[in-house]
Chains A and B, each alone.
Chain A
Amino acid sequence: MFIHNFKYTLKTLFGNKILIFWTFAFPIIMATFFNLAFSNIENSEKLSIIDIAIVESEEFKNNEILKQSFEALSDEENEDRLFSLKYVQETTAKELLENGEITGYLKLDEDKPKIVIKSNGINESILKYVTEEITSTSKIVQDLANKKIVKESMQGKAQVDYEKIYKKALEIATKEDISFKNISNANLSYTMIEFYTLIAMTCLYGGILAMTAINNSLANMGNVGKRTAVAPISKGKLIISSVFASYITQLIGISLLFIYTIFILKVDYGNNLPLIVLLTLAGSLAGLSLGLVVATTLKTNENVKTGILLAVTMFGCFLSGMMGITMKYIVDTNVPIINKLNPASMITDGLYSLYYYDTFSRYYINVISLLIFSSIMIAISIIQLRKQKYETL
C-alpha cells in the first residue's frame, strides 16, 4: 500500500501543472531574472584598474612584504588586479601625478610607506587602504619573526635560519592576504545573495507539495480525501507515504534548480556543494513540515491554505534578504530572534556561513536548527492529525 500510494502521489504531483510551475519552473525563471539583473550590476561595479607609481629606492627593494604585495596586486595575468604599477624616480612620479596619469604614488620614508595623492576619491581611498593593510600585515610578520628568533636563541641554537623563519612568516602574511581578498569578493556578490534566498524559497515551496499530497488523505479537505478516509488503510501510513513522495518531488525540483544555475547560468557555488546540498535537504524538510502544519492545523479550504503558506514563505524570504540584504541585517541587529525562528533565514545564513567562514560551526548550527524546526512542525502535525475525527463526511 505504501508503494502504491507513493507511486500515485508522485503521478498526481507531477501531473498538477500549477503546482509544478510554482515549485519547478518559477524558481528557474526567478534564477534567470536574477542572473540577468544582478550580473549587470556586478559588472558595472567591478573596480577599474588604478594607475599608481612607486618611487624606486633601496629601502623599497629590501621591504619584501610591501614589494611582493604590490606586485601581486598589479599582476597583469590576474583579471581582478587592482593596480597598474610603474617604478619611477620621485620627480617622474610627481609629474605623472600632476598630469593626472596616476592616482598617487608610494615612497618609503625612513622605512615607512607614504602615499602621495593629488585629490580625494575612491581610487585614492583604495590605494591608502591597501597600503595601510599591507603595512599592518608587515608589522605582524616582523613581530612573529622576532619572537621566533628570540625563542630559538633561548633554546641554545647557535645558528638561526633567519631566511627560513622569514619565509614562514611571509607565508602567514600571504594566507591572510588571500583570506582578505575572498571576503571582499563575497561582499560584492549580489547574485550569490539572491541565489541563496532563491534556494531558501524553493526549499520552503516544498510545503505546497506536501500540503497538496496530504490533502488527498484528509476527509475534510475534499472528495478524494473522503474516499480515502473510508478505505481500510492506516491514515498514518497513507500520510507518511504521501509526504515522502512530496519530499522526493521537492528534491527533484531543487536538483533541477541547481543543474540549471550551475550548468546554464554558470553560478559558482564554490567548493562546498555537498554541504550546500545537505543544507537544502534540511531546508526542504523544513518547508515540507511547514506545509504539514498549515494543512493539518488550519480549518479552512485548500485555496486559503495555499495562500497562507505562500505568504508565510515569501515573508520569511523577505526577512532573510530576498528583496535586499539590508532587511536581513536590520532583523539580525534589532530582532535577531525572528531570524532564529525563520527557516528561510536558517537556510540563507547557512549558505552565507559556507561562503564567509573557514569553519563550519555556524553552518552546522543552521542545519541543526532546521532539523529542530522540522521536528517541532512534524510533531504539531501528528498531534493535530490524531485529534481529527469526522462526525459526517
Chain B
Amino acid sequence: MKPNSYDIKRDIGVIFQEVAVFDELTVYENIDYFCGLYIKDKTTRKNYIEEAIKLVSLEDFKKFYPKQLSGGLLRRLNIACGIAHKPKLIFLDEPTVAVDPQSRNNILDGIKKLREAGATIVYTTHYMEEVEILCDRIIILDKGKILASGTADELKKKARIEEKVTVEVNNLKEEQIDKIRNLQNVEEVKYNVNNLIITYKQGENNLGELTNHLKKEEIKYNKIYSERPTLNDVFLELTGKELRD
C-alpha cells in the first residue's frame, strides 16, 4: 500500500493504544473531524457520527471536552473516532488498557457489534480472556515472532495442556508432592502456600484418580476443582514465561 492509496485507506480504521484526540474539541467535534477526513457529505457524516456515538454509549457526553471524561469514556471516544467512517478493516491496539470493567464490557460489546456488522477486526491485546470472547483466529507473538496461530481450541491442543486441577491443602510435605508428580499423565506440579496446582498433558478421569490417591495417602484437603486450560495458560506455555514483558 502506498501513501496515496486512498481507496484502500478509506476502508481502514485504526484505533491506537494511546488516545488520539484533540483536547480543544468536544466529543462530537473530535468524531466529526476524524470522520470528515473520510466522509465528505455532511448529512452522511452526521448520521455516521450519531451511530458511532451510540455504539460506544457516549450520547450523554457529546459536548464534553476530553479532559472532562474518565479514562474509560476517553477510550470509548478514541474508538468512536477510529470507526465512525464505517471501515471494513479495523485495527484495534489494546483498546481496553486501564479501563474500568463497565467501560471494558461496553467496548467489547461495541467491537462484537462491529464484527457482526461485517467488519474484519485485527485485535491486539495481552488480555487472553478478551481474545477468547472476540477472536475467530488467534496469532501468538513473542518478540515479533509468530509462535502459534489458529483457533482457540487448536492453540490449546498445540500447547498440550488438557486439564488443570487445583487443590487447597495445608502443610503438604515434599515426599507427598513427589508421589503426586509420579501419577499418570501429570505434566507439572506446583505448590504455593496452600494451593497445589497439577497440570495434566492428556488423559481422562484425572480428577478421580487424584482424589483416590489423596484418600489413600490420607491427605486432607479443603477444596478441589478442575479447569480447562485458558488461552492465558497456552500463552505462558508457548512463550515459556512466568511474567509478561
Report A's interface with B, CB cutoff 8 A.
1, 4-5, 8, 11-16, 216, 222-224, 226-228, 230-235, 393
Chief secondary structure at chain A's binding surface: helix
Q: Does B63 contact A (CB under 8 A)?
A: no
Supply 9 further A-B pairs (C-beta < 8 A) apart from A223-B16, A230-B14, A231-B34: A4-B33, A8-B25, A11-B29, A15-B22, A227-B20, A227-B82, A230-B12, A232-B7, A232-B37
Q: What residue in chain A is nearest B7 (Cβ atoms)?
A: A232
State A234–B37 Cα separation when bound (angstroms).
Answer: 10
Q: Does B223 contact A (CB under 8 A)?
A: no
State A228–B14 Cα separation when bound (angstroms).
Answer: 10
List of A residues within 8 angstroms of B22 by Cβ? 8, 12, 15, 216, 224
Q: Is the CB of A12 within 8 A of B37?
A: no
Closest 9 CB pairs of A and B: A15-B24, A223-B20, A232-B6, A232-B9, A231-B37, A12-B24, A4-B36, A227-B20, A232-B10
Residues 17-61 of chain B, each 1 if its beta carbon lies under 8 Å from chain A, else 0: 011111111000100011011101000000000000000000000
Q: Which residue of the partner chain, among A4, A14, A227, contacts B14 with CB atoms under 8 Å? A: A227
- Among A8, A228, A393, find the residue whose CB has the most chain B CB atoms closer than 10 A: A8
Residues facing A in B123-145 (CB within 8 A) are none
- Among B10, B22, B25, find the residue whose CB has the most chain A CB atoms closer than 10 A: B22
Size class of the B contact interface (CB-based, 8 Å): 20 to 34
Q: Is the CB of A223 within 8 A of B25?
A: no
Q: Which residue of the partner chain, among B3, B12, B14, B21, contacts A224 with CB atoms under 8 Å? A: B21
State A4–B38 Cα separation when bound (angstroms).
Answer: 11
Q: Is the CB of A228 within 8 A of B37?
A: yes
List of A residues within 8 angstroms of B4 by Cβ? 234
How many cross-chain pairs have Cβ atoms below 8 Å apart between A and B?
Answer: 63
User: Given A11-B24, A11-B29, is A227 in contact with B81 using a C-beta cutoff of 8 Å?
Assistant: yes
Closest CB of chain B to A78's CB: distance in Å?
54
User: Given A227-B81, A232-B6, A232-B7, is A8 in contact with B33 using a C-beta cutoff of 8 Å?
Assistant: yes
Q: What residue in chain A is nearest B40 (Cβ atoms)?
A: A1
Q: Is the CB of A231 within 8 A of B21?
A: no
List of A residues within 8 angstroms of B21 by Cβ? 224
Q: What residue in chain B is nearest A229 (Cβ atoms)?
A: B3
Q: Show 22 A/B contacts (Cβ-Cβ < 8 Å), sorted by A.
A: A4-B33, A4-B36, A5-B36, A5-B37, A8-B25, A8-B29, A13-B24, A14-B24, A16-B24, A223-B18, A223-B20, A224-B20, A224-B22, A227-B16, A227-B34, A227-B81, A228-B37, A231-B34, A232-B6, A232-B7, A233-B37, A235-B3
List of A residues within 8 angstroms of B38 by Cβ? 231-232
List of A residues within 8 angstroms of B3 by Cβ? 235
Q: Is the CB of B16 within 8 A of A12?
A: no
State A13–B24 Cα separation when bound (angstroms).
Answer: 8
Closest CB of chain B to A347's CB: distance in Å?
30
State A13–B25 Cα separation when bound (angstroms).
Answer: 10
List of B residues within 8 angstroms of A12 by Cβ? 22, 24-25
Q: Is the CB of B33 within 8 A of A226?
A: no
Q: What residue in chain A is nearest B10 (Cβ atoms)?
A: A232
State A226–B10 Cα separation when bound (angstroms).
Answer: 15
Q: What residue in chain B is nearest A16 (Cβ atoms)?
A: B24
Q: What residue in chain A is nearest B81 (Cβ atoms)?
A: A227
Closest CB of chain B to A1's CB: distance in Å?
7
State A228–B9 Cα separation when bound (angstroms).
Answer: 11
Closest CB of chain B to A228's CB: distance in Å?
7
Closest CB of chain A to B177's CB: distance in Å?
47
Q: Is the CB of A226 within 8 A of B16?
A: yes
